């Protein structure tokens, strides 16, 4: 209930006023049944503007730190992220990653839409970074379609590092569902999983018109270097198909 109250009454109208969202490709979202919405990730508000324009409820996997705050503020934020459709996951090690995939599979088995960010974290500089293979493994294990989604302008409305919102124009571009049934039975094959996620990232690059960097965003953040000397401008030819 709270999800819809926030969407239509408490938060949605304000976000619509600030970002004036435009959406294309809504017909690519299935009316029912499970699907993975694979989105680029520019700002925290990605997880709010996408549900705002899609009529079906979307569940996102969110880092557990959003749910572990202390005091009144921490408890409120944990409640808020829960009721707006976010599920906490631990991203610290391989076992945690597998637990996250198990949670994601459970959500899809319930026939829900699952929102995922294959880059694993927000872009440090507005470019599109290398995708992690967890999404590919999940798609291969479940057989559900992957729908690429490009968020544009959310980093203007919600600049990284700034708590407030600014007026701007948000655009949500939803691509056609991607079917990976030709790889049935090959979940766990790291070469196939890399090919699948590269194909997804190519579609995100095409939809978003972002420059592609063949590095993991998390590694760039750790290195404190948001501008590699020679970033790749496109994916390998195999991914481009």
Which CATH number characterizes residue 195's domain? Answer: 3.40.1130.10
Query: Of 120, 112, 129, nearest to 204 (Cα)?
Result: 129
Residue 77 forms part of a structural domain: no
Question: Given this model, what pLDDT does residue 63 score?
Answer: 73
Question: Given this model, what pLDDT does residue 232 score?
Answer: 45
Question: Given this model, what pLDDT does residue 30 score?
Answer: 96
Name the residue with higher pLDDT: 156 or 185: 156
Residue 80 forms part of a structural domain: no
Average pLDDT over the chain reads: 88
Residue 211 forms part of a structural domain: yes
Distance CA 27, CA 63 (A): 30
Residue 40 forms part of a structural domain: yes
Residue 176 forms part of a structural domain: yes
Residue 84 forms part of a structural domain: no
Distance CA 197, CA 189 (A): 12
Name the band, by pLDDT with cuts 50, 70 and 90, for residue 67. Answer: confident
Rounded to whole angstroms, what are the CA distances from 3 to 6, 32, 57? 5, 18, 8
Contact 196, 46 (CB under 8 A): no
Contact 178, 199 (CB under 8 A): yes
Question: Given this model, what pLDDT does residue 241 score?
Answer: 45
Name the band, by pLDDT with cuts 50, 70 and 90, for residue 228. Answer: very low
pLDDT in tens, 77-126: 888 878 777 787 766 665 667 788 888 999 999 999 999 999 999 999 99
pLDDT, average across residues 4-10: 88
Rounded to whole angstroms, what are the CA distances from 6 to 35, 159, 171, 239? 23, 22, 20, 39
Name the band, by pLDDT with cuts 50, 70 and 90, for residue 240. Answer: very low
Rounded to whole angstroms, what are the CA distances from 61 to 18, 76, 102, 235? 25, 18, 11, 26
pLDDT in tens, 18-57: 999 999 999 999 999 999 999 999 999 999 999 999 999 9
Full residue range of the structural domain in which residue 182 is found = 1-61+92-223
Contact 32, 111 (CB under 8 A): yes
Query: Of 24, 19, 22, 58, nearest to 165 (Cα)?
Result: 19
Residue 155 forms part of a structural domain: yes
Name the band, by pLDDT with cuts 50, 70 and 90, for residue 235. Answer: low
Quote the number of domains for the chain: 1
Residue 234 forms part of a structural domain: no
Quick one: what percent of the chain has pLDDT higher than 90? Answer: 64
Q: Where are the beta strands (DSSP E) in the chain?
A: 22-24, 35-39, 58-63, 86-89, 113-116, 128-129, 146-152, 171-174, 212-213
């Amino acid at each position: 209930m709270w999800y819809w109250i926030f969407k239509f009454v408490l938060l949605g109208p304000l976000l619509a006023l600030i970002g004036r969202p435009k959406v294309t490709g809504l017909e690519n979202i299935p009316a029912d049944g499970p699907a993975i919405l694979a989105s680029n990730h520019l700002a925290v508000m990605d997880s709010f503007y996408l549900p705002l324009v899609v009529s079906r409820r979307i569940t996102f996997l969110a880092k557990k730190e959003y749910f572990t705050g202390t005091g009144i503020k921490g408890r409120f934020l944990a409640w808020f992220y829960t009721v707006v459709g976010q599920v906490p996951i631990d991203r610290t090690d391989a076992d945690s990653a597998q637990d996250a995939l198990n949670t994601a599979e459970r959500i899809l088995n319930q026939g829900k839409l699952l929102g995922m960010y294959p880059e694993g974290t927000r872009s440090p500089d507005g470019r599109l970074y290398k995708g992690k293979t967890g999404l590919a493994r999940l798609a291969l294990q479940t057989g559900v379609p992957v729908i690429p989604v490009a968020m544009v302008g959310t980093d203007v409305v919600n600049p990284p590092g700034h708590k407030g919102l600014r007026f701007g124009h948000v655009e949500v571009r939803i691509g056609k569902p991607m079917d990976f049934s030709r790889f049935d039975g090959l979940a766990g094959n790291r070469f196939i999983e890399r090919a699948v996620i590269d194909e997804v990232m190519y579609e995100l690059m095409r939809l978003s018109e972002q420059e592609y960097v063949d590095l993991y965003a998390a590694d760039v953040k750790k290195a404190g270097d948001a501008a590699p000397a020679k970033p790749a401008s496109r994916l390998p030819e195999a991914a481009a198909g």
